[in-house]
Amino acid sequence: MEISTTASTAAVSDDRLAEILANPGFGLHFTDHMFTVEWTPDAGWHGARIEPYGPLTLDPATAVLHYAQEIFEGMKAYRHEDGSIWSFRPEENAARMMRSSHRLALPVLEVDDFVQAVDALVVADQRWVPDSTEPGAGEKSLYLRPFMFASEAFLGVRPAQHVTFMVIASPAGAYFKGGIKPVTLWLTEEYTRAGRGGMGAAKTGGNYASSLVAQQEATANGCDQVVFLDAQEGRYVEELGGMNMYFVHDDGTIVTPEIGTILEGITRSSIIELAGKLGHQVVERKFSIDEWREGVTSGRITEVFACGTAAVVTPVGALKWDGGEVPAPASTDLTMRIRQALVDIQYGRAEDTFGWMHRII
């Protein structure tokens, strides 16, 4: 893919950038540039460019605003101690975006083009990749958000004939305020996230829109995140609004809900491999809410944790629902060891024995 570049003349000053990188938060500040490429049935993908970051002008009839034909990805670029910059399994994000494209009837962007687009933006905005090596700097990274949407101005309900793919980037610190401490979960019994044949396995905005009312319920009940159960029986744990889940048992095995209607997380599949290397078998199967309640109460479940690109690996504390509560599991030991093993690879502090890291610069 041929990419043209227009440098930003209004780039953020070095002083302001240092301030932002000292305390980036999540999804608050955006880099100096953005990547765009457009698609039409006749021309295919064309007009790839990196331009100064800025607002889009959209026709009010732009299809995505009405019918939500949209998909996205979430990934990160990490700066290693020697200054080099790397991403984590970017071809997996590209492959998942291809699967999401299929479900949302959007055109396919090839893996190589996806990776090239992301790399080109990181190169253009490399000064925005935070340094995490200073003591107390925490685990900072540059969060990358590739997304694709129906950009045709047309109100008929059919796959758009004009589609736009973009990449934007935002420096990231801890996803949860207060750093790494167990998150409290709210079990929603009214709302579900995905049904059979639905969009649960696709990374599409609608899934997040549908999670918000349940998340509001969680917040109103003093919880950090919401847990969704399967839509058919309301019995099996699916995932959180933005993370996959794991249950550590006292015999050392780890259970994670099987794929189907959940998002197939890249952190999730990486942890399955990592845990194996640490001597823990991971079983992918249906896992009922009763098993969770009884397991924590009896001590058979020793740890619960959640994972995702934004939140990395986060211990899970208490589970609450209307009229009841399961206390936090006894330990966070293995959770923190898995977390450390993963971030050590991502930040270049441990050997990348799985070949997961992709060097950008």
Can residue 200 be called a binding residue for ligand COI (CB under 6 A)? no
Residues 279-308 that bind ligand PLP (CB under 6 A): 308
Q: Residue 263: name its binding partner from ligand PLP, ligand COI, none (Cβ under 5 to 8 Å by kind).
A: ligand PLP
Q: Which of 265, 317, 329, 348 binds ligand PLP (CB under 6 A)?
A: 265
Contact letters (x/-) for ligand PLP, 116-155, by CB under 6 A?
----------------------------------------
Q: How far apart are the first and last CA of the chain?
A: 19
CB 77 within 8 A of CB 360: yes
Which one, 152 or 239, has the nearer CB to ligand PLP? Answer: 239
CB 146 within 8 A of CB 73: yes
Can residue 171 be called a binding residue for ligand COI (CB under 6 A)? no
Q: What tokens appear for 76 in the block?
A: 């990160």
Concatenate the DSSP letters of all residues of 29-74 into one string.
Answer: ---SEEEEEEEETTTEEEEEEEEE--PPP--TTBHHHHH--EEE--
Can residue 244 be called a binding residue for ligand PLP (CB under 6 A)? yes
List, in order, residues 6 or more apart from 234 with CB less than 8 Å away.
Answer: 189, 192
Q: Which of 119, 224, 230, 239 binds ligand PLP (CB under 6 A)?
A: 239
Q: Which range binds ligand COI by CB under 6 A, 7-15, 160-168, 210-218, 304-312?
A: 304-312
Q: According to DSSP H, which parts of the chain are helical?
A: 14-22, 63-67, 90-103, 111-124, 205-220, 266-277, 289-298, 333-346
- # residues contacting ligand PLP (CB under 6 A): 12
Nearest distance, CB of residue 240 and ligand PLP, angstroms:
7
Can residue 309 be called a binding residue for ligand PLP (CB under 6 A)? yes
Can residue 242 be called a binding residue for ligand PLP (CB under 6 A)? yes
Structure-token match 């024995």, residue found: 353
Q: Which of 308, 317, 329, 348 binds ligand COI (CB under 6 A)?
A: 308
- # residues contacting ligand COI (CB under 6 A): 6
Nearest distance, CB of residue 228 and ligand PLP, angstroms:
9
Q: Which of 244, 309, 314, 332 binds ligand COI (CB under 6 A)?
A: 309
CB 334 within 8 A of CB 345: no
In terms of residues, how long is the chain? Answer: 361
Can residue 174 be called a binding residue for ligand COI (CB under 6 A)? no
Q: Which of 35, 64, 74, 280 binds ligand COI (CB under 6 A)?
A: 74
**How many angstroms separate the Cα of 190 from the Cα of each of 14, 208, 244, 322?**
49, 16, 20, 10
Residues 43-82 that bind ligand PLP (CB under 6 A): 74
The candidate with the shortest Cα–Cα distance to 27, out of 76, 65, 92, 100, is: 76
Beta bridge partners of 70: 149
**How many angstroms separate the Cα of 228 from the Cα of each of 15, 127, 208, 232, 249?**
43, 39, 12, 12, 21
Site of interaction with ligand PLP (CB under 6 A): 74, 239, 242-244, 263, 265-268, 308-309
Site of interaction with ligand COI (CB under 6 A): 74, 208, 242, 308-310
